[in-house]
Amino acid sequence: MDSLTQETLCKIQSVVIDQIRKEPVKSVDYITERISYEDFFVKYLLPNRPCLLSSYVTAEWRSVKEWVKEDGQPNLDFLASNFGDALVPVADCNKVQYYAQPKTDMKLVNYIEYWKNHISKGHKSKEGCLYLKDWHFVHVFTEYQAYETPVYFTSDWLNEFWDLRSDRTDDDYRFVYMGPKGSWTPFHADVFRSFSWSANICGRKKWLLFPPGEERHLKDHLGNLPYDVTSCELHDGKKYPNYKNACQPFEVVQEAGEVIFVPSGWHHQVYNLEDTISINHNWLNGCNIDIMWEFLQQELCTIQKSISDCIDMEGWHNQCQLIMKASTGIDYAEFFLFLHIIASHRLQLLRRCSRQMSEQVVLKSSDLDQLTRDNTHDDHSVSKLDYEHTKSLEGCETVSGKLPTTENIKSLCEDDTSTRLLSGTFESMAIKEISACQRLPDSSQESVWHAVFDIDQVKKILECLMKNEEFQELESSVLCDDPKQIYRNICDALNEYLL
């Protein structure tokens, strides 16, 4: 479960995330044994550091068992017979169009036929190197559970939001990639500067990873990034004047079954060293939402500069937002909707937690009466109970931050009367009640603290958004709700929970 303890949350609040992100990465860690979600969160998500997870993560996946033959090669016949009618996007690795590989759609069964022929020709067929990429497999085959998202990547705001969109029912940021030896993906950083993870179902990949900021040394004299970061062109000092200042990339070879975590803003280029199938997600959460916000501001600034000669035209700001939506995939109004949805889900969790606390912690009078009868003896009769201690629990809600523990229950027993009750049945019942309270439906106390972290991160970005001049230029009619009211709701919830 993607969960955080209160102790970890307090530690997080005491550090400056920007500072730990600036600590230099000396190597890409290889994780061979299971680590906790909290450890991964602190060591890799927050500091935005890459790592490679060994095959223990994928060992039980259905796709690993059914899509791969015993010799480790792709089970192309299984794929064709089970998914062959699906329409898939296929890129031509031998062509360049607008700094990307042009794509066409074809049926999977036809792509499999090409792939078999390409292998038989020593990976040198006349069609060239074709790469099936960005296939929304999960959306098409909803009942086929090819994999389970690793726990470290389950706090996924991007797909949480996209799954709710009625206008994009065939879209998400979960992909399957399949390609022959030699297929590759050009130099890029991921959409919205999101995190990504990629699991090799079979085959091997080589990754070239550049830390954030290094890409500025790789731009040409016009400010364009290279299509192929290994091209000899980069040694042309006139065209790439800053290339000499660029660091060497981290080179990672990813084996079958392994999962790589690519942090936000790490530009990369990827090669399939063998016939390879992989599953990939792009995702965002509270650890990198600020990076997305910074990226959106930069994108809008670039657009504004490109049409600055039209700044006096009516509706110029709206036009900039339209161009941004078309080129980037999201505008400021939708970004606000995104924040609103994410915060709303987590506020609902806190409220549900609060209700559970109220229902389960407050001991009813009838229960206490029954306990009194069960624990009354001839020589130690209890004729009166002190209910004041019990009443004090009525305000004990998770939204106020006063999470009860077994010690809270035992505090009822500070006087002689309640001490008599703290024997046998009462003590076991009290501990059982509080344990049930802390095991919330579809959540846990730790996931509640994760929700608090998430809401606090949304609050910080919302503060910046409301102060942003371009956001202020938006008409209220294009916004899903009143930003100030949403902000107040978030602040009220955090204040109650954290005080």
pLDDT of amino acid 18: 83
Top pLDDT among 226 and 370 is at 226
Neighbouring residues of 452: CB distance < 8 A, sequence distance ≥ 6? 9, 346, 350, 494, 497, 498
pLDDT of amino acid 427: 31
Query: Cα separations (Å) of 110 from 76, 127, 215, 361, 451?
Result: 11, 13, 38, 61, 45
Name 208's bridge partners. Answer: 251, 269
12 pLDDT tier (thresholds 50, 70, 90): confident
Closest C-alpha among 181, 465, 432 to residue 332:
465
As a whole number, mean pLDDT of residues 174-200 equals 97
Statement: residue 175 has pLDDT above 60: yes
- The answer to whether the predicted template modeling score (pTM) of the entire model surpasses 0.85 is no
345 pLDDT tier (thresholds 50, 70, 90): very high
6 pLDDT tier (thresholds 50, 70, 90): confident
Top pLDDT among 431 and 223 is at 223
As a whole number, mean pLDDT of residues 256-269 equals 98
Q: Which helix (H) or strand (E) holds 454?
A: helix 445-467
pLDDT of amino acid 165: 78
Name 254's bridge partners. Answer: 205
pLDDT of amino acid 9: 75
Count the helix, strand and coil residues of the chain and give each as a percent rounded to the nearest 5: 50, 15, 35
Task: Give percent of the chain with pLDDT exceeding 70.
Answer: 80
Task: Give percent of the chain with pLDDT exceeding 90.
Answer: 71
Name 82's bridge partners. Answer: none
220 pLDDT tier (thresholds 50, 70, 90): very high
445 pLDDT tier (thresholds 50, 70, 90): low
Statement: residue 388 has pLDDT above 60: no
| 268-318 pLDDT tens trace | 999 999 999 999 999 999 999 999 999 999 999 999 999 999 999 999 999
pLDDT of amino acid 244: 95
| 91-119 pLDDT tens trace | 999 999 988 999 999 999 999 999 999 99
C-alpha–C-alpha distance, residues 230 and 208, integer Å = 10
66 pLDDT tier (thresholds 50, 70, 90): very high
| 46-60 pLDDT tens trace | 999 999 999 999 999
Neighbouring residues of 238: CB distance < 8 A, sequence distance ≥ 6? 221
pLDDT of amino acid 467: 97
